[in-house]
Amino acid sequence: MSSVAELVLEETDPYIDNEFVNEMLNQLRALDTYDTYEGWSKSKILDPLVLTKERKREIPVVGDPDEITLARVKAYYNAMATIIEKKSGLMAVPMINLTHEGFGRALVMVGKLVVVDKTLRDIHRFGFPSLEKMCEQSDKLINKASELIEKYGEVARD
């Protein structure tokens, strides 16, 4: 059996109940229009986001992202925007522009203020080495966004 099919994320992962992880689950479930995730554990839903070195090695260096991967990218930035909105009390809107080859940009806007600006490449290999790394990266971006909203509040409210 391929290691891609084997679950690497456990229910006992200390980050499984993190605020961002829970919002990611909400976003992934919202995009699941066919109820594929019905009855699935948190770890089974989130497992494809964890790209161990072995899993990453199995994904070709060059490739076009599939619809499932694109949905995960959208869920990630939707989750980020939702948490930014909760923290700031201002509407946060994610915008993602990708080529069919998986290159582009992700922005999160609050009013007229760009609070997250991330260049995206190799989206077909989208994932994180662990839930901890996903939380660290998202927390860093969310904290930076909060600082920008605080500093440029007038633009964010515009």
At 16-52, the pLDDT tens digits run: 999 999 999 999 999 999 999 999 999 999 999 999 9
- The per-residue pLDDT for range 128-149, each reduced to its tens digit, is 999 999 999 999 999 999 999 9
Q: What is the mean pLDDT of residues 100-127?
A: 96
Contacts of 72 (CB under 8 A, 6+ apart): 28, 48, 49, 126, 127
What whole-number distance in Å separates Cα of residue 100 and Cα of residue 70? 10
Residue pointed to by tokens 């922005």: 107
Tens-place pLDDT, residues 90-104: 999 999 999 999 999
Q: Count H helices and E strands in the chain, helices first.
A: 6, 3
Do the domain assignments include residue 89? yes
In a domain, 3, yes or no: no
**pTM for the model:** 0.92
- Identify the pLDDT of residue 151: 98
Whichever domain contains 107, its CATH number is 1.10.3100.20
- Identify the domain containing residue 132 by its residue range: 19-157
The total of structural domains in the chain comes to 1
For the chain, give the number of residues. 158
